[in-house]
Structure 1
């Protein structure tokens, strides 16, 4: 038999239940055991060619959705992924929210969250049951660690998946749920202008270090009122900017633009502090000292 035998059109791309394919006469048990089909989960298959070409989290969400009991939905970080916010580590399991009285067989590719799920909390994304944007944000905002909860909410806000006012209203209507204290902190700290997880981590680091909350994505104008630069974080009253430098800043063209930009900001009287992931993860105390010293130099 050739490696990829004839594939029925309705089974060509998406995962499917093997038992249903057999019952409908499209496949036989012997066919499913052949090289044309790849077993993702118990009774869930996809064409081997499709799996080899597109083994992404979306495929796993489609596969897990086939096994969900009534009332359950893709949730948490997997729901955020479907809504356009990818914060998942490589090869992460699919996160699902399941009502207390429902059952789903444990599997390494499935991370189960037991929780009440109202009908209004579930919608469909390309026929996959998924928690609504506001329920997704609500769940992620209640789940420690605190910095990850804030990163998730910032990202959902920035992508305009949900509005902060909508999330706050939902939280008010669900007072008393587990994680309410963390939820309150995240709502107070959330920032829709934050453009990346590392910017969120940097902002939270400064706040936790006892510094005033910086302004996110601050626009700097020149003396003629023309746009000059946008700073990741800033204390505008002190003309201090704080920039996170990712790996893309090492590229030659980006480096040249950065130099010209920094020179223009310096000419306007701005002091720019630049930091990397190493500063945030390994040298946070030093970073706090540097920002504190800069503020003192500027008269804070």
Structure 2
């Protein structure tokens, strides 16, 4: 049995331009049409060992090779590169292109036309990308409001953007599309929010007219010792709300949660815990439970 053809190290795992690889004598066009290679975009290929259909970084690498002059990876794809994963399984790569630039349409590509001055662009691991500041500015202007807030909260929490800087950036760009939405998002933004679902839960309660909660509040006992940190709190009423993600179902985490909740109850706190199902499918019930807890703890007139 013949041994498999040796794959040049340059082409082993990352996307590459077929024309450049052929010109360098690394492969031939006949080889690229074989089963060892996958064509991702026009003239962009990857070896089958480096191909993962839903690997967004692979698609970002591929798109970067095909970008026309002035184009950058942007939006949720830029946020992903900045360490904030807001992507669905098969989300296309978002790019910003100058109005005169052309790029062939593809199902894994979403193109927006917009000015991107040099100050708004940088490189992240060889890829041209909008700065974290421009990324937050763009995502905060994109409806729906809840997703805009989720994106801005996540970038703020990642500490790649600061809220005062983002506010100043927005103020310096009057007339841009979506600015009214961004201003509303900035008024609601919470850098301490630790997950998209925590942001959604907080927004649900605010939109229902409940008083604003304190995010990531440290609960201490009478001696000042830390009892635990809660996601959302009304300290004066000793009421807390927490979002339980899948990691809370792990055995070790579950045991820690039980001990922490018992300690919080021992110092007089009421803690309500909600899941994604509560927030997304039963919002009215979730709001009613929190409102009831706040009423019960509110001092009588």
The interval holding the TM-score normalised by the smaller chain is over 0.9
Moved runs in structure 1, 4+ residues, more than 4 A?
A: 1-4
- Tell me if structure 2 keeps the 8 A contact 1:5–1:36: no
Cα distance in 2 between the residues matched to 1:43 and 1:111: 18
**Which residue in 2 is equivalent to 1:274?**
273
Q: Is the 8 A contact 1:74 1:95 kept in 2?
A: yes
Question: Are residues 172 and 293 of structure 1, via their aligned partners in 2, closer, same or farther at CA, if it must alter by over 3 Å?
Answer: same
Deviation at 1:92, TM superposition (A): 1.3
Cα pair distance change 1:138/1:2, threshold 3 Å? farther
Residues 1:122 and 1:4: Cα distance change in structure 2 (over 3 Å): farther
Residues 97-116 of structure 1 mapped to structure 2, 5 A cutoff: 97-116=96-115
Alignment correspondent of 1:294: 293
TM-score by length of 1: 0.96
Give 3-state SS (helix, strand or coil) of 2:51's partner.
helix
Where does residue 17 of structure 1 map in the other structure?
A: 17
Query: 1:267 and 1:68, CA in 2 relative to 1: closer, same or farther beyond 3 A?
Result: same
Count of paired positions: 299
Paired position in structure 2 for 1:66? 65
Moved more, 96-105 or 3-12: 3-12
Alpha-carbon distance in structure 1 between the residues aligned to 2:244 and 2:4: 46
- CA offsets per residue over residues 31-52 of structure 1, 9 Å max, x none? 1112221111111001111225
Over aligned residue pairs, what C-alpha RMSD do you find? 1.6
Question: Could you state the TM-score of these two structures normalised by the residue count of structure 2?
Answer: 0.95
Match status 1:5 vs 2:9: no
Q: Is the 8 A contact 1:71 1:119 kept in 2?
A: no
Aligned counterparts of 1:2 and 1:243: Cα–Cα separation in 2:
60
Partner SS state of residue 50, structure 2: helix
Q: CA deviation at 1:2?
A: 6.1
* Matched position secondary structure for 1:117: coil
Unpaired stretches in structure 2, ≥5 consecutive residues:
none
Corresponding residue for residue 95 of structure 1: 94
State the Cα distance separating 1:277 from its structure 2 match: 1.1
- SS of 2:259's partner is helix
Alignment correspondent of 1:39: 39
